[in-house]
């Protein structure tokens, strides 16, 4: 019988610390539900003391998650811990995760505390957290650059104070796998009460070693790994959940433990997180990249056709992709469309939602001869997202580009049920389209990012556009997909406008309220 490795997902907390990845409460709840479906053991829902919005989001997650443990991060002080306890209170299974830095540089330069004060703060924090829940985790921030003797001292004290999980973060991604593994092994061996706690690791990817360091730690006794979907996280990100889980599953001959993760949920969850944050997954990303199970060269294709395992170490279906190339086109019907999407892990909430997605699929099939899984996933997340927020809809778009003439665009939108039209010139067709939309919705928002990715290959590929808008301290990402990138851009802009509206920013904006013909 193998040990169980606890998967602690921090997409909603450390993942959200990726610059530009902030999520609304509703989006966090959708991600938390997907994580629960995937059977993640612990969901770090946020940092309750960070803001009222973070508090409300942690609470909303705590109200709807029943199987996974819901956790909030808290500094080692009473105010943060009390807020965390209040936010997670509705969850049937709850954890407070308190932390303080233990490296000489952090203690001296950042906290400006003597090591004795740091130990005292850690003990006080753990004791206070234990008055709210038995499930308390303590992290030694920047453990990767901390002195092992001091780590032993503070961890022993934290366990005595009641911590049941001890997390050893490599906060700045500085360690190397053999060193980090050795650190974990020696801590477990040297700390007399180590057997009373689960040892955990939280690795950052500054040198691209987060997954390798996490696995080295687990091979040396850690039994919890903290990770995020698509490896999102502060700076270069955290260890990617999908890589950790699939390395352990695929190399079961090496790892004396397994996780409880339902791996078929990996790809749908990755797509959901990418759609919500606006961070595209690079095509060659392990497990969840569009090319992760694609074979391009003849010798490889020949090998795979004769015997799949010649070039595949995992089955695409096991992580939520399809093994066979999807053959869906303009002659397909609703039943095949729905069945294919169900195989991909999507369910439709209503017949209306299915009908809308199917209509979009037919439009797309008219324009491109091959529809891939990624096209379908983009199409469905667009439909589901549109239904959640659609206050503004794109009805018509005409953009004109001609050498020597300033591009001009005309758009027609449906704003709260009213048809509105406008036209504008711009430096390019996309600029003109954005200006025309702004002439109607008048958000005054600042465009922070515009990026185009092709979802599949070929000149008839769908372009997936991400637009980031900022207004009154609120930043949102909008996404749109189409074979025509000007239309995809307009959809993305309208999507972002809807998100601003959903975030209440525009409700208070009189010009938006009065937008009309
Ligand atoms: C490694 C990590 O990922 S840790 C998590 C990082 N995540 C975040 O910081 C996101 C949420 N943070 C926030 O919203 C804000 O930083 C808040 C609300 C927590 C604090 O805001 P402010 O009170 O304005 O403080 P500010 O962020 O400027 O500075 C942090 C303060 O916390 C102290 N601090 C940092 N870590 C800890 C800790 N673990 N325990 C106790 N105090 C700490 C710092 O020394 C500093 O104190 P000082 O103001 O007395 O110098
Ligand atoms: C708070 C801890 C776990 C953290 O995020 C880090 O050290 O990177």
The structure's pTM equals 0.74
* Ligand 2 atom 6, closest CA: 171
DSSP-assigned letter for residue 362: H
**Mean predicted confidence (pLDDT) in 485-493:** 94
Dump pLDDT digits (tens) for 124-176: 999 999 999 999 999 999 999 999 999 999 999 999 999 999 999 999 999 99
Q: What is the mean pLDDT of the chain?
A: 89
* Angle value at C-alpha 204, between 246 and 223, nearest 5 degrees: 55
Res. 441: pLDDT tops 80: yes
Q: Do domains 3-277 and 390-513 have the same CATH topology?
A: no
The structural domains of the chain, with segments of one domain joined by +, span 3-277, 325-387, 390-513
**Percent of the chain scoring above 70 in pLDDT:** 88
CA of 139, closest atom in ligand 2:
3
Ligand 1 site-directed mutation target among 22, 50, 87, 102, most atoms within 8 Å of CB: 50
Query: Binding residue per annotation — 204?
Result: yes
* Ligand 1 atom 33, closest CA: 111
Range ranked top by mean pLDDT from 303-307, 350-354, 429-433, 461-465? 429-433
Residue with tokens 């753990």: 126
> Which residue did the predictor score with more confidence, 256 or 350?
256
Confidence of residue 352 (pLDDT cuts 50, 70, 90): confident
Position 482 scores a pLDDT of 87
Measured between alpha carbons, how far is 469 from 452 in angstroms, rounded to an integer?
15
Position 324 scores a pLDDT of 42
Q: Classify 48 as helix, strand or coil.
A: helix
Q: Separation of 243 CA from ligand 2 center, angstroms?
A: 20
Dump pLDDT digits (tens) for 23-33: 999 999 999 99
Region for residue 137 given its phi and psi (left: phi exceeds 0; alpha: psi -120 to 50; beta: otherwise): beta
Pick the CATH number of 3-277 from 3.90.79.10, 3.20.20.70, 3.40.220.10, 2.40.160.150: 3.20.20.70
**Mean predicted confidence (pLDDT) in 425-440:** 96
* Ligand 2 atom 2, closest CA: 141
Ligand 2 site-directed mutation target among 167, 206, 217, most atoms within 8 Å of CB: 167
Position 508 scores a pLDDT of 34
Q: Which ligand is nearest to the CA of 80?
A: 1
Dump pLDDT digits (tens) for 63-92: 999 999 999 999 999 999 999 999 999 999
Confidence of residue 290 (pLDDT cuts 50, 70, 90): confident
Res. 316: pLDDT tops 80: yes
CA of 143, closest atom in ligand 2:
7
Res. 505: pLDDT tops 50: no
Measured between alpha carbons, how far is 393 from 364 in angstroms, rounded to an integer?
18
Res. 300: pLDDT tops 70: no
Position 417 scores a pLDDT of 85
Residue 124 burial by Cβ neighbours in a 10 Å radius (0-12, 13-18, 19+)? middle
Q: Separation of 50 CA from ligand 1 center, angstroms?
A: 9
ipTM, two decimals, is 0.98
May I ask the CATH architecture of the domain 390-513? 2-Layer Sandwich (3.30)
Res. 406: pLDDT tops 90: yes
Position 369 scores a pLDDT of 58
**Mean predicted confidence (pLDDT) in 254-282:** 95
Query: Binding residue per annotation — 238?
Result: yes
Q: HSE on the CB side for 488, CA within 13 Å? A: 23
Dump pLDDT digits (tens) for 191-215: 999 999 999 999 999 999 999 999 9
Region for residue 237 given its phi and psi (left: phi exceeds 0; alpha: psi -120 to 50; beta: otherwise): left
Least confident of 50-54, 115-119, 340-344: 340-344
**Mean predicted confidence (pLDDT) in 110-134:** 98
């Amino acid at each position: 019988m193998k040990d169980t490795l606890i998967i602690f997902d921090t997409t909603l907390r450390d993942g959200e610390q990726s610059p530009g990845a902030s999520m609304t409460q509703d989006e966090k709840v959708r991600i938390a539900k997907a994580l629960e479906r995937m059977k993640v053991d612990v969901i770090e829902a946020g940092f309750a003391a960070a803001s009222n919005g973070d508090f409300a989001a942690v609470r909303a997650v705590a109200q709807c998650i029943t199987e996974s443990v819901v956790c909030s991060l808290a500094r080692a002080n009473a105010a943060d811990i009390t807020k965390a306890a209040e936010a997670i209170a509705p969850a049937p299974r709850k954890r407070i995760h308190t932390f303080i830095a233990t490296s000489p540089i952090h203690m001296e330069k950042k906290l400006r505390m003597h090591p004795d004060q740091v130990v005292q703060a850690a003990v006080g924090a753990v004791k206070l957290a234990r008055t709210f829940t038995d499930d308390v985790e303590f992290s030694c921030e920047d453990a990767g650059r901390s002195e092992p003797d001091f780590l032993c001292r503070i961890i022993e004290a934290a366990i005595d104070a009641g911590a049941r999980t001890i997390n050893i973060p490599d906060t700045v991604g500085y360690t190397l796998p053999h060193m980090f593994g050795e650190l974990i092994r020696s801590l477990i061996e040297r700390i007399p009460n180590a057997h009373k706690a689960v040892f955990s690791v939280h690795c950052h990817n500054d040198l691209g070693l987060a997954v390798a360091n996490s696995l080295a730690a687990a091979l040396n006794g850690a039994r919890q790994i903290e990770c995020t979907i698509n490896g999102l996280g502060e700076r270069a990100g955290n260890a990617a959940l999908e890589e950790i889980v699939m390395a352990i599953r695929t190399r079961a001959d090496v790892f004396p433990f397994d996780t409880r993760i339902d791996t078929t949920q990996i790809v749908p969850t990755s797509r959901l997180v990418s759609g919500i944050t606006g961070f595209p997954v690079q095509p060659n990303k392990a497990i969840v990249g569009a090319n992760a199970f694609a074979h391009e060269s003849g010798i490889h294709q020949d090998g795979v056709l004769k015997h799949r395992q010649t070039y595949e170490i995992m089955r695409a279906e096991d992580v939520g992709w399809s093994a066979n190339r999807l053959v869906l086109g303009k002659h397909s019907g609703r039943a095949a469309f729905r069945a294919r999407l169900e195989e991909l892990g999507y369910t439709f909430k209503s017949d209306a939602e299915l009908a809308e997605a199917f209509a979009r699929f037919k439009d797309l099939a008219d324009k491109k001869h091959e529809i891939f899984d990624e096209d379908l996933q983009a199409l469905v997340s667009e439909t589901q997202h549109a239904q959640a927020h659609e206050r503004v809809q794109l009805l018509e778009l005409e953009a004109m580009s001609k050498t020597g003439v300033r591009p001009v665009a005309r758009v027609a939108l449906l704003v709260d049920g009213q048809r509105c039209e406008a036209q504008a010139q711009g430096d390019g067709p996309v600029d003109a389209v954005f200006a025309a939309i702004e002439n109607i919705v008048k958000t005054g928002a600042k465009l922070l990012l515009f990026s185009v990715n092709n979802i599949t290959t070929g000149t008839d590929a769908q372009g997936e556009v991400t637009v980031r808008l900022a207004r009154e301290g609120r930043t949102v990402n909008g996404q749109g997909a189409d074979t025509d990138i000007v239309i995809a851009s307009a959809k993305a802009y309208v999507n972002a406008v809807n998100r601003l509206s959903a975030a209440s920013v525009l409700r208070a904006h009189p010009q938006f309220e009065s937008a009309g013909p």
